[in-house]
Amino acid sequence: MNFKKIIIYALLLLVVLTLIAGILGNQTIKSIYGEKTEVVDVSKLSVPIQNIVFNNINVLSLDGNGFLGGRSVFIKEGTIQKIDSIPINEENAKVIDGSGKFLIPGLVDSHVHLFKSPNDLLLYVANGVTHIREMIGEEAHLQWRSEIDNGRIGPDIYIASPRLGSFDAMMGFFMTQTQGYSNITTAEEAKRKVKEYHEQGYDGIKIYSQLSKECYQAVSETTRSLGMDMIGHIPFTIGLSDVWKSNQKEVAHFEEIMNALNREFDYFRNEEAEEFFKFIEEKSDSVAYFLKKNNIAVTSTLWGMNSLYRQKTDLKAILKEVELEYVNPGITEGHSFIPEGGLG
Contact 215, 185 (CB under 8 A): yes
Distance CA 197, CA 203 (A): 9
**Nearest-CA neighbor of 162 among 201, 134, 136, 130?**
136
CA distances from 137 to 56, 83, 113, 150, 256 (A): 42, 38, 8, 20, 20
pLDDT, residue 207, reads 97
pLDDT, residue 340, reads 44
Give bridge partners of residue 24 from the DSSP assignment: none
Q: Find all residues with CB under 8 Å of 127, minimum gap 6, and list them.
A: 107
Query: Beta strand pairing status for 107-112 and 182-183?
Result: unpaired
pLDDT, residue 1, reads 58
C-alpha distance across the termini of the chain, in Å: 51
pTM here is 0.82
Q: Positive or negative CA dihedral for 78, 158, 304, 28?
A: positive
pLDDT, residue 294, reads 96
pLDDT, residue 183, reads 96
Instruction: Compute the C-alpha angle 44/50/54, nearest 5°.
Output: 110
Ordered structural domains, the chain, with CATH: 49-103 (2.30.40.10), 107-333 (3.20.20.140)
Distance CA 150, CA 139 (A): 17
The DSSP code sequence of 51-81 is EEEEEEEEEE-TTSSSEEEEEEEEEETTEEE
Per-residue pLDDT of the chain (344 residues; tens, 9 = 90+): 577 777 777 788 887 777 777 677 667 777 777 777 788 887 777 777 789 999 999 999 989 899 999 999 999 988 899 999 998 988 889 999 999 999 999 999 999 988 788 888 988 998 899 999 999 999 999 999 999 998 889 999 999 999 999 999 988 888 887 788 999 999 999 999 999 999 999 999 999 999 999 999 999 999 999 999 999 999 999 999 999 999 999 999 888 999 999 999 988 888 888 999 999 999 999 999 999 999 999 988 777 777 777 878 888 888 788 776 767 776 666 555 444 444 45
pLDDT, residue 338, reads 47
pLDDT, residue 157, reads 97
